[in-house]
Amino acid sequence: MSLDGAARYTRSMPMITVQMMPGRTPEQKAELVERLTDVFLETCGNPGQPRHGVWVVIDEVPPEHWAVGGKLVAGPADEKS
């Protein structure tokens, strides 16, 4: 689908953003995108809504940019949690 074709769906187009650390295979990402699209359409979609009207963005965040509970996931090697 061209971007021109996609532009027609921007008003009703949901965008699902997934933020995760790198390390998944292209096959895992493809399955994730497919299943997220399916679940969205099953639970929130409009009758007849096309699959290409659901956009998914995978944002891979390196561990050194990810924190949980106030601690970086990939902190200095000598730091213990």
Instruction: Indicate which residues carry an active-site annotation.
Output: 14
Beta carbons of 3 and 44 less than 8 angstroms apart? no
Q: CA quadruple 46, 48, 51, 53: dihedral positive or negative?
A: negative
> In the chain, what's the furthest Cα-to-Cα distance?
55
Q: What residues does 67 pair with on adjacent strands?
A: 72
